[in-house]
Amino acid sequence: MRYLPIDNQLFVQNRQRLTALLKPKSLVVVNANDIMPTNADGTMVFRQNNDLFYLTGVDQEETRLVLFPDHPDPKFREVLFLRETSELIEIWEGHKLTKAEAEQTTGISQKQVYWTHQFEQIFGQMIFEAENVYLNTNEHTRASIVVQTQDARYIDEFRHKYPLHHLQRLAPLMHQLRAIKAPQEIALLQTAIDITDKMFRRLLTFIKPGVWEYEIEAEMMHEYLMNRSRGAAYTPIIASGANACVLHYIDNSAQCQDGDVILLDIGAEYANYNADMTRSVPVNGRFTQRQRAVYDAVLRVLNESKQMLRPGNLWDEYHREVGKIMESELIGLGLLDAHDVAKQDPDAPLYKKYFMHGTSHFLGLDVHDVGNKYRRMEPGMVFTVEPGIYIPAEKLGIRLENNVVITEAGCDDLMANIPLEADHIEDLMNT
């Protein structure tokens, strides 16, 4: 892996955290993701199943983890199955984990690491001691379930072979655990954020009238790849002028014009953890008065929103409060009329014309990370804060996005070092 080794205590502790949530006599199976095809014999870059990574640190295809903490025989309490390598695989694909390396990565004794083709033989010695079997489903509220994952195929296979076991959903437990980041996870996120910081400072000296959005993307990738990142955490949005008003603009194909603001939603990935940053900067290095007014309004909303990201607060209430702050900023900018706002339908607030997306989401191994929005905020949760104002009639879209971790006292801004104030941005663009 291009990222530096991760202390396996993180994964040992993650498995302990999961064990504490299981019913008695429970067995858990978690599978690797598939290598996804493109066309003909092409494949996408491998991306591990985040739950498997969280529990093992193994970043390799065809891996399967089985946990059975109550098994009478200690050697069956955690078992890892790996793809067995061969001379042919070594020649065509390169190195695959040995059992000793798997122990080093995961903290699971190599005596309990087997090859994938031994699965049935080992599993047969485990399954009939179990009553509950936790299998994994993608329960993200916006999950794409058009492609059947290895986890999903395994559910079919398991039900066919062992129809009388009690099936349990692993996903709610994983969401509960992954919502609270361990200190080692915060450190990995901080690395992704620090790489993003370096990249952004580089862009501030590169952006000028006439450059193309894809040239900015190339600069971004250069900095990411030079810093042990696999690249962007998500498809980057590099959107100048009116393009910034298209929320999921990813073409990045336009030439940046003098006088435009460019919106950059471009976080780095590091060790499967994700930064999620947005900045909006003037192409020529100076905001117009109007652009600056909108910019400062968005920045005030961001700063006030952060004050509400604190233990005990509820997601929906937080979003309603942010909406009110945004409402008054939009009135101040002349975009909404105070009388119209007073009469508005509370279920369809007028601010949504200019700010039509959520302010925050969980962040971690997934960019839109798993977590339950009905759970009160707790220390260790990591959120984005990303207000925006989009005015197509002015060819202007401004979004600012930072990443924060909830603490006992409120929240810490993990992006505190990344330039954000308009004056600071202008200074860096003009030095």
Residues in touch with ligand GLY (CB under 6 A): 234, 265, 276, 361, 367, 386, 401
Q: Least distance to ligand GLY from the beta carbon of 383, Å?
A: 11
- Residue 284 to residue 13: CA distance in whole angstroms: 50
The residue (of 235 and 417) whose beta carbon lies closer to ligand GLY is 235
* Cβ 386 to ligand GLY shortest distance, Å: 6
Judged by CB, which is closer to ligand GLY: 260, or 386? 386
Separation between Cα atoms, residue 10 and residue 424, nearest integer Å: 37
To ligand GLY, the closest distance from the beta carbon of 106 in angstroms equals 30
* Residue 386 known to be catalytic: yes
| Residue 34 partner contact from ligand GLY, Mn ion, none using kind-dependent CB cut-offs of 5 to 8 Å | none
**Distance of alpha carbon 81 from alpha carbon 115, whole angstroms:** 5
Question: Could you confirm whether 117 is annotated as catalytic?
Answer: no
Which position among 34, 219, 265, 327 is part of the footprint of Mn ion (CB under 5 A)?
A: 265
User: Is the separation of the CB atoms in 82 and 115 below 8 Å?
Assistant: yes
Distance CA 80, CA 98 (A): 12
Q: Catalytic annotation on 401?
A: yes
In the complex, minimum distance from the CB of residue 165 to Mn ion, in angstroms, rounded to a whole number: 39
Question: Around Cβ 411, how many Cβ atoms within 10 Å?
Answer: 24
- Three-class secondary structure of residue 225 per DSSP: helix
- Verify whether residue 368 is a known catalytic residue: yes
d(CA 305, CA 402): 11
- Alpha helices by DSSP H, 137-182: 150-161, 171-178
- Residue nearest ligand GLY, CB atom distance: 265
Secondary structure class of 91 (helix, strand, coil): helix
Stretch that binds Mn ion, among 16-24, 204-212, 220-228, 269-277 (CB under 5 A): 269-277
* Helix (H) / strand (E) containing 185: helix 183-204
Residue from 276, 366, 413, 426 that binds Mn ion (CB under 5 A)?
276
Q: Rank residues 122 and 367 by Cβ distance to ligand GLY and give the closer one.
A: 367
Nearer to Mn ion, 17 or 198 (CB): 198
Q: Which of 59, 185, 219, 276 is catalytic?
A: 276
From the list Mn ion, ligand GLY, none, partner contacted by residue 234 (C-beta under 5 to 8 A by kind): ligand GLY
Nearer Cβ to ligand GLY (65/275): 275
Question: Closer to ligand GLY at the Cβ: 62 or 401?
Answer: 401
**Is-contact 306 385, C-beta < 8 A?**
yes
Q: Can 51 be counted among the known catalytic residues?
A: no
Catalytic residue among 194, 213, 329, 401: 401
Report, in Å, the least distance between residue 394 CB and Mn ion. Answer: 22
The letter for the amino acid at 161 is K
Q: Which is nearer to ligand GLY, 122 or 247 (CB)?
A: 247
Residues 85-92: contacts with CB under 8 Å, at least 24 apart: none
The one catalytic residue among 248, 345, 374, 408: 248
Nearest to 251 by CA among 278, 214, 280, 216: 214
Q: Given the structure tokens 């598939």, which residue do they identify? A: 34
Q: Mark whether 357 is an active-site residue.
A: yes
Which listed residue (2, 222, 357, 376) is catalytic?
Answer: 357
**Does 361 qualify as catalytic in the annotation?**
yes
* 59 among known catalytic residues: no
Active site residue 41: yes
Catalytic position from the list 51, 61, 223, 265: 265
3 is catalytic: no
H/E segment holding residue 120: helix 119-123
Task: Assess 384 for contact with Mn ion (CB under 5 A).
Answer: yes
113 phi, psi to nearest 5 deg: -110, 125
Contacts of 265 (CB under 8 A, 6+ apart): 236, 237, 239, 276, 277, 278, 399, 401
Rounded to a whole number of angstroms, the minimum distance from the CB of residue 297 to Mn ion is 19
344: left (phi over 0), alpha (psi -120 to 50) or beta: beta
CB-nearer residue toward Mn ion: 173 or 192: 192
Written as one letter, the residue type at 325 is I
Choice among 54, 295, 399, 426 that is catalytic? 399
Known catalytic residue: 399?
A: yes
Q: Give the DSSP letter string of 313-373.
A: --HHHHHHHHHHHHHHHHHHTTSS-HHHHHTS-TTS-GGGGT--S-S--B-SSSSS----T
Least distance (Å) between residue 229 CB and ligand GLY:
15
Judged by the rule CB under 5 A, the positions of this chain that interact with Mn ion are: 265, 276, 278, 384, 401
Would you name the residues annotated as active-site residues?
A: 41, 248, 265, 276, 357, 361, 368, 386, 390, 399, 401
